[in-house]
A and B are shown apart, each in its own frame.
Chain A
Amino acid sequence: MIPVSIQARQALDKLLLPFMLLIAVGVILLGQADRNLTHAARMLVADVLSPIWSLIAEPGERVAAAVAEIRGINHLAEENASLRAENETLRGWYDVAVSLTQENQTLKNNLRWMPDPVPSFVTGRVIADAGGLYSHAVLIGAGPQSGVRVGNVALAADGFAGRVTETGQRSARILLINDLSSRIPVTLEASHGSAIMTGDNSSSPRLMYYAQDNHPIEGERVVTSGQANLLPAGLPIGVVHYARAGQPVVTPYARLDHLSILRIFDFEVASIDAPDAPGRVPLAPLHAGAGPNGALPGTSARDGDSGDGTTLSGATLGGVIGIRPHERDEKSMSKASNQTDNTDETQDSDDTAHARQGATPDAQAPDAPNADPSLSGRKKAQSPSPAYPPPFTERG
């Protein structure tokens, strides 16, 4: 102990609290600035504590099971009766399931169905509630050593529970689907709609961004959607329930507040690489007219109409791509007047390109689709869509 005078000690004592507050503020700022450091510190603490938590969790579970058993003794007869009834129903369902599985197998064989990759999984015990007040997450006692990786899917016995967000040495944190920051793309099985399931800290996450002309139906099953290339499609999550009119929520199958054992699946979704999809369609294959994707539905129809396949220049395509509906009408009308004149047609689409670009009348039409990436993006979206028929098909 360093000998200090009483006055100095009192002064130091007074400074201690402000100093500690400063440290706390520093930690807050550091935590915001360096997330990786925060993750590392959290997982270190979790790793250190996980053996202790496992020690607590196991007997706790046994005690809970014993208590449940003692409670169940009173209702043995009723439970037996209800189980018998349920068993009979389930036997019926078993037969249905077996026949459906066989039928499904036959159909898949006939269709030469590409089998889904068989996921590998590990099972871990939930050792701690890593949520806190404003988040919902659990910690399981399995880490990268057991093959758990960030992005893996956690399934409870009866449904989707969450995703692995952080891993330590011996533990991994799973963000549950009802956490405030959880967003899961889902498919609604009966209405065939898609939506985003958004956690809101309550026990039942909300459904958002569904199509306004296709509302979720009360009681229909909600499964994951493979759209974002984030999750495999078809994992059961829960059923739709309208807590209030116009506010569909999902009642999860998994009991999110009483998770004890989770299966962590590695679906390796990320290993499926999408083929290269550049932001625009290169023009060169279109000139050749042989590109499998380059041939727009409109262009082929046009070829058939006028009978001259050689007139398809980049300029014409540039005109086609960016056409707005009202321009399209004018265009088809003007087309009707001079169908046979190739040069006029090129001129016409040049005009369209100019009208679309507005501010740059000097721009060359062949460059038009390249000049504006958003337009070429539109082209990509439009070309396969039946809702936007290409203008030249209307001529016939």
Chain B
Amino acid sequence: MASDPPQQRQQGLRARPSLALRLDRFAARMAPGGVTAALIALLSAPTGLPGATALLPGVVMSLVFFWSVWRPDAMPAPMVLLLGLFMDLIGFAPPGVNAFVLLLLHGVASHLRFGLMRLSFLVIWLVFAVVAALACGLDWLLVSTLSLQPMPSAPAIFETMLAVGVYPPLSALSSRAHRLLSHPDPHA
């Protein structure tokens, strides 16, 4: 009898989280997307970084892929859409192209996530390389179609190589963040 009420409380009536806790969860949920958006803005600024424009899609793809695999709650589809649109508007690409490609990447990653999470890093990297190459190819195809002329293919290849190259360091940093950040909604 004495142990019944606490059990009931745990199951049915969950205590309403405090404001601080809700803010914390909101921040944790928004952190990956916010960091990605900040990186998009930063890499568009004239920092003098060589190949910054070619690096940008790789960075965004790596982050979207990582978070879609490891914590899709923190990288939901609407956020991916917004990131893609932001990238399109900043980069003066045909609007919607990057959003479409990133959403497909997100879909593939979240579809494969339970298979991927059991695999070693190298295999995940390999899978990412294939997916990123396909995404860059699709990007090239869409931009070429929409502007009605074949775009040079060299930037697409360069972009793919940079994306593959930038994944390991970003993945290491993100893993750290993944462990540090509390899960946005542990009870969900």
Contact = CB atoms under 8 A, between A and B. Distances in A.
Nearest to A37: B95
A24 B84 contact: yes
A71 B139 CA distance: 40
Contacts of B52: 129
Contact of A131 (B53, B77, B81): B53
Interface string B85-98: 11001111111110
A23 B95 contact: no
Nearest to B40: A49
B184 interface: no
A45 B152 contact: no
Given A60-B46, A260-B46, A133 B91 contact: yes
B120 to A, nearest CB: 27
A379 interface: no
B166 to A, nearest CB: 15
Contact of B45 (A26, A45, A60): A60
Contacts of A180: 147, 149, 151-152
Contacts of B147: 134, 180-181
Interface stretch (B28-36, B100-108, B167-175): B100-108
In the complex, which range does the number of interface residues on chain A fall in? 35 or more
B92 A49 contact: no
Given A23-B81, A24-B96, A32-B94, A133 B46 contact: no
A258 B95 contact: no
Interface string A12-35: 000011011101111111111000
Contact of A20 (B47, B80, B95): B80
User: Looking at chain A's contact residues, is the secondary structure mostly helix, strand, loop, or mixed?
Assistant: helix
In the complex, which range does the number of interface residues on chain B fall in? 35 or more
B188 to A, nearest CB: 10
A50 B95 CA distance: 20
Interface in B10-69: 41-42, 44-48, 52-54, 57
B91 to A, nearest CB: 3
Contact of B93 (A26, A52, A134, A259): A134
A31 B149 contact: no
A128 B143 CA distance: 21
Interface core residue of A16, A20, A38, A126 (most chain B CB under 10 Å) = A20
Nearest to B140: A134
Contacts of A181: 147
Contacts of A45: 86, 89-90
Given A134-B93, A134-B143, A135-B92, A201 B41 contact: no
B77 to A, nearest CB: 4
A312 B33 CA distance: 81
A17 B92 contact: no
A288 interface: no
Nearest to A56: B45
Contacts of A129: 44-46, 52-53
A138 B94 CA distance: 16
A130 interface: yes
Interface in A143-190: 173, 180-181
A57 B45 contact: yes
Given A17-B103, A135-B92, A173-B92, A126 B81 contact: no
11 contacts: A32-B94, A41-B95, A127-B45, A128-B46, A129-B45, A130-B44, A133-B139, A133-B156, A134-B147, A201-B151, A202-B152
Q: Which 10 A-B pairs have the closest CB atoms?
A: A132-B91, A27-B96, A28-B96, A31-B95, A24-B100, A24-B99, A56-B45, A20-B77, A45-B89, A20-B81
Interface of B: 41-42, 44-48, 52-54, 57, 76-78, 80-81, 84-86, 89-97, 99-100, 103-104, 106-107, 110, 139-140, 142-143, 146-147, 149, 151-152, 155-156, 159
Given A16-B77, A60-B45, A201-B151, 20 more contacts: A20-B80, A24-B96, A27-B99, A28-B94, A28-B96, A28-B142, A31-B95, A42-B89, A52-B45, A53-B41, A56-B47, A57-B46, A129-B52, A130-B44, A133-B57, A134-B151, A134-B152, A134-B155, A135-B93, A260-B46
